[in-house]
Structure 1
Amino acid sequence: MTVMTRRETMDRDPLRPTIKDTIGDRVRSLALEAGARPRAQGFGRLFPQLVAPRHRLPEGPRTLDALLDLAETMAEGEEIHREPRRKCAGDGDLPAAYTYLTEFVLNDLVWQRRSAAPPARPSESAPLESLDLLVNRRAGVLELESVYDAPRDPQDVRRMLLGQVAPAPAGQARPPRKGAANDLPRHPRSLDPGRDRIARAGDPRSDAMLVLSQLHVAFLKAHNRLVRDGLGFQEARLALRERYRWMVMNDLLPRLCDPQALEEARGRAGAGSPGAVPAEFAAAFVLAPAMARPSYDYNAGYRNVERGALATRLVLGAAGRGSDALPEHWIIAWEGFLPLEGLAPQRARAINTRIAGAESTASTLARRHLLEGYRLGLPTGQAVAAHLGLTPLAGERLLAALPESQRGAAAPFAQATPLWFYVLAEAGDPEGPAGARLGPVGSRIVAATLYGLLGAQPQAAGAPGRPFDHFTLSDLILLAEEEDLLAL
């Protein structure tokens, strides 16, 4: 009797492209054959020395089945606290808004697509032979592509177009000090779910969740505030890009990375660029799922709201129904996510191998990222650590760093661990960072990539507009709120 593996009994093979993917691949393949050249970049390898099979996970269905088992254990479940404004078990020290800045930066650098249909392989369970078939629609230079690949305001082309919020129903109110222009611009309502009120933005991922969507809106408003200072479009764009780069390198990175790894990366800044976003970074910087809370105090009217209920599509309603835009009572109150007032903000979750939220959603997300690392043929965490001259987290030490309920599924990977899982385990190690930041391997991948892509630490001196010597995420929100107040 033939015994089917768990991979074979799933509704869809997780490594097999969807029909939509296949059609898209074929169209792009025909365009390339006709001489078209995509604007997109490719992906590189941060560690090209680690491409041999001995540095990667073993190939085959047994590994895939073990990855699926491991993904199931990464769902945290609902047993953890339900009070967003009170620090409880599992919380870190980062204000909650940095979860979504981390996701925004990753989206600004990585948007993966295949450039052509993959060639026939001897086994469906084999990783890609090279990264040549993958394209990155992002330039990989921290230039706010998703913000500026979007329409400008037709009334003043120096400004970025914003969407007007919809009126609140009776009994609901717009948060104080918020103007009407607090949504992404949207297409009209449609009975087609794929077209219904979708955002007119450079990246549809920005509109998946309200917190991320509202962060995107903050960048648009910050640009428009700089225009009010008398800058033209190009000057305001350059000014905001310089501030954004300062924010990433001097506000976000020090909060996420080991200080020694940062110092090493600074010392090598400008010595050479990876030329393309490394696939290892695209895996290691997927931190937002581990940092996201199961619920948030979104604004004064929506306390302790399940994260899933903050999906933009749920708030807008079913296709062809509901309001034309984001209802005004769904504008975010950033003071609950950042230290902008006397009360402590909500905190991001400590970085570890658990993903909070609905169990099915969390395990599906974990499965996608674990299988993606396998598909890309990434080196294991231990291989990277050894290559960097670090002591690998392996064997009993690795298992001891994990929740007890996860150790059985992780045992097959104790000596050769998927890179993404290794980065999260290393960060959550009670004998190491204990969830406060990334560990040695994760820190070095992230810091080396960002300093390599940027070339050197950004300097504020040459930025147009009002001078600045620092620009944090809080400064971005305050700049955007200036635009709100001036528009009221």
Structure 2
Amino acid sequence: MNRHQRSEYYVTDEGVFSPEQGPGCRRPSTWEELRHFRFSRLVPRRAPLAIGGTVDTTLSQRIAEAMVPAEETDQPDSLIPAGYTYLGQFVDHDLTMDRTDATLGERVTLDQLIQGRSPALDLDSLYGFGPDHPDSAVFYEPGSMRLRTGSTARVGELREFDEFDLAREQGTGRTLIPDPRNDENLAVAQIHLAFIRFHNRIVDELAANGVPSALLFEKARERVVLHYQWVLRHDFLPRIVDRAIVEDVFTRGRRYFEVPVDPYRDSYQDGHENGDRYATVVPGQMPTMPLEFSIAAFRLGHSMVRDSYEWNSVFNSQGIEATLALLFRFSGTAGVLTGDNRLPSNWIPDWRRLFDLVADGDAGAAFAPPTPGLNRAKRIDTLVGHFLGKLPPGTFGGRLSPGIPDEVEHNLAFRNLVRAEMVQLASGQQAADHMDLPKLNANQILVGDKTAADLSALGDAHPITENTPLWLYVLREAELNNGLLTGVGGRIVAEVMHRCMEGSRYSIVRRPEWKPDLPTPSGRFTMAHLLLHAFDHDPVLLNRVQ
């Protein structure tokens, strides 16, 4: 399973892009057309920057070195609780899961071929194909609509705790969840576990209220998905994207990505009225996934990552430091939780330190984080955490090139930049022109706000000032906007999230009258409320390591 690097990108109307073949693409076989996850483009691709059939990585190396400091730095904190960093990773895996990867060489069913290529905010990374499907039944408790959980391993005086780890298959190390990427680091694994607990509580409540067993799973999934989308629309997105853009997209609709076709207007019969074949969608079509979102704009989370966390009463800045390296280590995909290993009980998170349960969840003083307090995500800007410059080998698959220095190959910023070159992703300026948005000037591209990546040594005449890698451009926009995506990045993220909600089987976009039905004191419903409900509003369950 590739994690920080996909092996291939199938782009609609173009073909297959693969790192092994160099820049450019090839036409897919009929089988590949069926099997591949559907990517698309918002902006027409640009010519590759290639030398001798391979991408010239010199500039990418230079940018990556500026974006990832050689030592830990005082990158500014944001006001965003750090848990949202990993909620974003969970969302990314919900949107970009190609379920057919897990069945390569095995039986592939028609619903896998169809559903596995349709990005939608429908929690398929949580549910798979449901409890009655032979390929997904293993994710559920036997004979039940409840999702499986696992127990932790005793450590010292801390006993085993049921339902505080993901379910793991004894002897093989296989994590019993549909998307193994959600066990890549401990933070995203515990976010996944929180959604399992939320689903299980909804199932129990519906069953107690007399919902027939034949309807129970779909009723529970509908309720969970709609609350999840509500959290993303009203809680997550406004924290990372300029609120004016979010409100515009969700009240007036999309302008650039798969804009709905009006069948009663002749000017739309051959596509969007400006003739752009990338922009239109017939109502009812499943969404595609724009490369500009997947490879650039939604990689904003890489700049939010901290190098260490106040994790619980054992692992914190006043005791044993909970480094990002350890969060990777205590996972199944990139770490040591394989075979018969289970998560040690002393690594259960204190959720009070990752989300603001008091201010955002209307909870009482018992839910307040202890000193030194709540973890904050790093500001969204052009700096990436020190640890992400030296990724462990288990987090990505394969080498990019024998000519690339080893230390650079482990740099996540470098991998992001090279991946964009491989698929000929449009530059930030091309995207701004395409959306009729003001462009950043040379000083803004090279210097930013002077506290992040400094590229001034490249000089005002460097081509990067006119053709900036889209990921760098989006982060620079946010850096100059107090850490909120705006302009090109804000538009891409808000519109794609809107479309992926619209394309879900259950959708708050298609049901604008829907409101959360779980009562809260303030009438709001946030990720903090979802966690409180998942853990029975019990401060002990939310802070298991006393």
TM range (shorter): 0.7 to 0.9
The residue type equivalent to 2:490 in the other structure is S
Q: Residue 291 of structure 2 contacts residue 425 of structure 2 at CA under 8 Å; is this kept in 1? A: yes
2:186 pairs with one of 178, 185, 210:
210
How far residue 307 of structure 1 moved from its aligned partner, in angstroms, is: 0.5
Number of residue pairs aligned between Structure 1 and Structure 2: 417
**Which residue does 2:67 correspond to in 1?**
74
Q: Is 1:290 aligned to residue 303 of structure 2?
A: yes
Overall identity of the aligned pairs, in %: 29
Q: Residue 225 of structure 1 contacts residue 483 of structure 1 at CA under 8 Å; is this kept in 2? A: no
How far residue 282 of structure 1 moved from its aligned partner, in angstroms, is: 0.8
CA distance in 2, matches of 1:464, 1:415: 46
The residue type equivalent to 1:32 in the other structure is W
Cα deviations across residues 333-381 of structure 1 (Å, max 9, x unaligned)?
A: 1111111233441100001111113342396211111111111221100
How far residue 153 of structure 1 moved from its aligned partner, in angstroms, is: 3.7
Does the C-alpha gap of structure 1 residues 317 and 414 become closer, same or farther in structure 2, counting only changes over 3 Å? closer
Does the C-alpha gap of structure 1 residues 348 and 225 become closer, same or farther in structure 2, counting only changes over 3 Å? same
**Aligned ranges 1:21-60 → 2 under 5 Å:** 32=31, 37-38=34-35, 41-47=37-43, 50-53=44-47, 58-60=49-51
**Aligned ranges 1:248-327 → 2 under 5 Å:** 248-269=232-253, 272=260, 275-283=287-295, 284-303=297-316, 304-313=321-330, 318=336, 324-327=341-344
The residue type equivalent to 1:408 in the other structure is A
Structure 1 length as normaliser, TM-score? Answer: 0.76
Q: Residue 245 of structure 2 contacts residue 486 of structure 2 at CA under 8 Å; is this kept in 1? A: no
- SS in structure 2 opposite 1:16? helix
CA distance in 2, matches of 1:486, 1:287: 31
- SS in structure 1 opposite 2:146? coil
**Which residue does 1:161 correspond to in 2?**
148
Structure 2 length as normaliser, TM-score? Answer: 0.68
CA distance in 1, matches of 2:466, 2:477: 14
How far residue 207 of structure 1 moved from its aligned partner, in angstroms, is: 0.2
The residue type equivalent to 2:69 in the other structure is E
Q: Is 1:457 aligned to residue 509 of structure 2?
A: yes
Task: Could you list the structure 1 runs, at least 4 aligned residues long, displaced by more than 4 angstroms after superposition.
Answer: 112-115, 312-321, 409-412, 458-469, 483-488
Q: Residue 427 of structure 1 contacts residue 439 of structure 1 at CA under 8 Å; is this kept in 2? A: yes
**Aligned ranges 1:1-20 → 2 under 5 Å:** 15-16=19-20
State the Cα RMSD in Å: 3.5
- Gaps of at least 5 residues in structure 1 are 1-13, 19-24, 82-88, 116-134, 190-195
How far residue 155 of structure 1 moved from its aligned partner, in angstroms, is: 4.4
Q: Residue 222 of structure 1 contacts residue 483 of structure 1 at CA under 8 Å; is this kept in 2? A: no
CA distance in 2, matches of 1:412, 1:136: 41
Cα deviations across residues 43-72 of structure 1 (Å, max 9, x unaligned)?
A: 11223xx3354xxx6444674321122222
**Which residue does 1:229 correspond to in 2?**
205
Q: Is 1:244 aligned to residue 293 of structure 2?
A: no
Does the C-alpha gap of structure 1 residues 261 and 228 become closer, same or farther in structure 2, counting only changes over 3 Å? same
Q: Residue 241 of structure 2 contacts residue 494 of structure 2 at CA under 8 Å; is this kept in 1? A: yes
CA distance in 1, matches of 2:324, 2:80: 18
**Which residue does 2:404 correspond to in 1?**
none
Q: Is 1:479 aligned to residue 533 of structure 2?
A: yes
**Which residue does 1:95 correspond to in 2?**
81
CA distance in 1, matches of 2:337, 2:293: 36
- SS in structure 1 opposite 2:151? coil
1:360 pairs with one of 386, 390, 393:
390
How far residue 407 of structure 1 moved from its aligned partner, in angstroms, is: 3.2
**Which residue does 1:434 correspond to in 2?**
482
Q: Residue 290 of structure 1 contacts residue 351 of structure 1 at CA under 8 Å; is this kept in 2? A: yes
Q: Residue 246 of structure 1 contacts residue 459 of structure 1 at CA under 8 Å; is this kept in 2? A: no
2:466 pairs with one of 390, 408, 415:
415
Does the C-alpha gap of structure 1 residues 364 and 409 become closer, same or farther in structure 2, counting only changes over 3 Å? farther
CA distance in 1, matches of 2:344, 2:34: 41
- Gaps of at least 5 residues in structure 2 are 1-17, 102-113, 129-135, 208-215, 261-279, 282-286, 358-366, 392-407, 503-507
The residue type equivalent to 1:105 in the other structure is V
More deviation in 350-359 or 57-66? 57-66
